[in-house]
Amino acid sequence: MSRGVAAACFALLLFGIAGCDTGGGGGGNSQPQIHEPSDVTAFKKVLQEATTGISADSELVYFKLNWQLTPANWNGIIEALGTEGRYVSLDLSGCTKGTHTDGTGLRWDGTFASNALPDAGWGDASDASPGKTMIVELVLPDQATAIAPGEGNGGAFLNFLSLTKISGKNISGIGNYAFYWLGTPNLTEANFPKVTTLGNYAFSYCYSMTTMSFPEAVTIGNSAFANSTTLTSISLPKAQTIGNTAFSGCGKLTTIDLPEATGIGQRAFQLCEKLTTINLPKVTTISGGTYNPNTGVPAGGVFTGCTSLVTLNIPQITDLGGQAFTLCENSKALVITMGATAPKVGENLFLNVDSPRTVTVKRPATTPTGYTEEWQTNFKGKGWDGTRVITVDNNVTTPDNNTQITLSVIDL
C-alpha cells in the first residue's frame, strides 16, 4: 500500500471526515487498517504483530485511541513505541482528560503535555526517549484546549524528531517552545483552527514548514516563527500583537499582511531578506532599534536586513522608531504609505545602507500636516550619511547629513 493512501487517510482523520476502514487489513482493501486497542497492553501487542511502520517514510501503523489519557497511559504509549520500534499515526481525538494536575498526557484543565519520559539533556537526539521519534502523525484529543508551555528551549514536543503532521481541533493556546526545532525538524503540517495565542518560540526553527495559517490567532509571542527558513507564506488575519523577532530570519517570506495588528515588537521582521511587501494598516507605533555609539554596533530596527522591501503600508503610524530600515539596501525604490499627519521618526532610519536608496512617502492629499523640510531631513537621517560608523579612538564621528537617501513626499 502506498504512503500516499495512508496520508490521505490521515487527512480524513485530521478534519474529522469518515471514510477510513477500522476493520481488517486484507482482502485488497485500499485503505490502511486503523487499530483501536483497549489499553496499553493491547496497543503493544498490535505493535508486536505489525508488519508495517518499519520507517517514517513507509506505510505507518494507524491507531485510533479512546482512552483516559493519564500520565500512565501516555507514558505507556511512548515506552511501547520505543520498545517495539514501529512508526505510527495516532488519532487521540476521542481520548478524555486525566485527573492529574501535572505530568504528561491530557491534564484535568485541558492542557496537553506530551514531553513524556524526560530527556537526559538539552534535546540532542541521542538523549531522546526512543518512543518519541516513532510518532509521525498526531491528532490531539478533542478535549485538549491548550498545549502546555515549556522553558529553556524544551517544549511539549521536544525530540519528536519524526513528527510531520499534527492537528488539534479545539486547541486555543500553543505554549512556549512547543514545536521548537529540537523536537520537530520535519514538521510540515500544523492545523490548529481555534488557536488564539502562540507562545514564545512556538514554531521557531521549524525547517520544513512552508505554509502556516492561524485564522483566529490574536497574540503572537516573541520569536514565534523565528528562523523557520522554509516558510514562504503565513496567514494571521486577526493577529493584533506581534512579539519581538516574531518572524526574524524567515528568509523565504515574500509578503506579510497583518490587517488587525496594532503592536509590532522589536526587530519583528529582521533578516526577512525576500520580503517585498508588508501591510500594517492599523499599526501606530513601531519600536526603534538600539545603538551603542562607543562600539558602533547597531542592533537594528523592525525591518533590519529586509533587503528586498519595496512596499510598506503604515497609514496609521504615529511613531516610526529609529534604525527601522538598517541594512535595507535595494536598487529598487522603497514606497511607504503613511497618514495625513507625519509621524515622529527616530534617528538613523537607514543605518548602514551602503548604497544610494530612493524612497517615496505617499500621504493623503487632504490637509497633510507635518511633512516639513526638517521632518524630511530627520527621516533621511540627520547627522548620518547612511553608510557606516567612522570610529576614531573610540569616538564616533559622522558626516553632517544623509546624502545616500533621496526622499520624495507625494500626495495619494
pLDDT in tens, the chain (412 residues): 444 444 545 444 443 433 444 333 344 456 889 999 999 999 999 999 999 999 999 899 999 999 999 999 999 999 999 999 999 999 999 999 988 888 889 999 999 998 765 554 444 444 567 899 999 999 999 999 999 998 777 789 988 989 999 999 999 999 999 998 766 778 999 999 999 999 999 999 998 999 999 999 999 999 999 999 999 999 999 999 999 999 999 999 999 999 999 989 999 999 999 999 999 999 999 988 865 555 555 567 899 999 999 999 999 999 999 889 988 988 899 999 999 999 999 888 888 787 888 999 999 999 999 999 999 988 987 544 434 444 444 444 444 345 688 999 999 8
Burial (CB count <10 Å: 0-12, 13-18, 19+), residue 184: buried
> Which of 176, 208, 178, 183 lies closest to 123, judged by CA?
183
Phi, psi of 392 (to 5 degrees): -125, 115
Q: How many CB atoms lie within 10 A of CB 68?
A: 13
Q: Of 215, 216, 212, whose CA–CA distance to 224 is shortest?
A: 212
Q: Give the residues across from 213 on adjacent strands.
A: 235
Residue pair 368/376 in contact (Cβ under 8 Å)? The answer is no
Q: What 3-state DSSP class applies to 269? A: coil
Give the Cα separation of 249 and 101 in Å (integer): 37
Q: 179 is written with which cell numbers?
A: 514545536
Range of the domain at 369: 240-412
| 342 within domain boundaries | yes
pTM of the model: 0.85
Distance (Å) of CA 40 to CA 34, 77, 81, 108, 320: 16, 6, 11, 20, 58
Do 365 and 388 meet the contact criterion of CB atoms below 8 Å apart?
no
Instruction: Report how far residue 390's alpha carbon sits from residue 130's, in angstroms, rounded to the nearest whole number.
Output: 55
Distance of CA 148 to the CA centre of its chain: 17
Grid coordinates belonging to 9: 487517510
Helix axes 71-84, 40-49, angle to 10 degrees: 20
Whether the CA torsion 360, 304, 398, 343 is positive or negative: it is: positive
84 within some domain: no
Within-domain flag for 345: yes
How far, rounded to the nearest angstrom, does the alpha carbon of residue 56 sit from its chain's CA centroid? 24
Domain total for the chain?
Answer: 1
CB 190 within 8 A of CB 213: no
Strands 405-411 and 285-286: unpaired
Say which residues have a Cβ less than 8 Å from residue 398's Cβ, sequence separation at least 6. 383, 384, 385, 389, 390
Indicate whether 367 belongs to any domain: yes
Residue 225 included in any domain: no
In a domain, 323, yes or no: yes
Question: Which residue in this structure is represented by grid cell 526545532?
Answer: 181
The three cell numbers of residue 55 are 520507517
CB count within 10 Å of CB 31 equals 18
Contact 173/214 with Cβ under 8 angstroms? no
Q: Which residues pair with 320 in a beta bridge?
A: 286, 345
Q: Is residue 148 part of a domain?
A: no
Q: Is residue 136 part of a domain?
A: no
CA dihedral sign, ordered 120, 123, 124, 125: positive
